[in-house]
Amino acid sequence: MYEKGLSLREIEAHTGYPKTSIREALTASGMALKASTKILVSGKTLPSSRRPPVCPYGYDWLEGRLVVVPAEYRVVTRILTLWKSGKSLHSISAQLNAQRIHTRAGNRWFHSSVSQVVKRHTNMKN
């Protein structure tokens, strides 16, 4: 479940096992966990004042590197497909909300948040 992009809290909700027990089991099996406090860049730990802000939607930190979160990246792909087909940012956000797809924080989508996803991914390809 963790490998598929679910958070420890989501796994806890699905299984009923405490988050701490899940974390311990994953660590004991040798699985690398997403960084929550220390972000490594070039092998050095950044002080909290210099750590990057929240990861872009569709990504998360793992061992100091941005990695794709499959569940979120499917939404990113959908947003980009709709945008490339000529849909407006407002209509994309309305469609995501109608399908009850939430942002990472569990909020509704707005045209501004859809715009950030589109800008980030169109700039990455240039």
Taking only the tens place, the pLDDT of each residue in 101-110 is: 999 888 999 9
Taking only the tens place, the pLDDT of each residue in 30-68 is: 776 665 544 444 445 555 555 555 788 888 877 677 788
Higher pLDDT, 69 or 31: 69
The answer to whether 94 and 108 are in contact (CB under 8 A) is no
Taking 3-state DSSP, the helix, strand and coil percentages for the chain, each rounded to the nearest 5, stand at 50, 10, 40
User: Domain boundaries in the chain?
Assistant: 1-32, 70-125
Taking only the tens place, the pLDDT of each residue in 75-104 is: 999 999 999 999 999 999 999 999 999 998
pLDDT of 6 over the 50 cut? yes
The answer to whether 18 and 12 are in contact (CB under 8 A) is yes
Cα–Cα dist 100/114, whole Å: 15
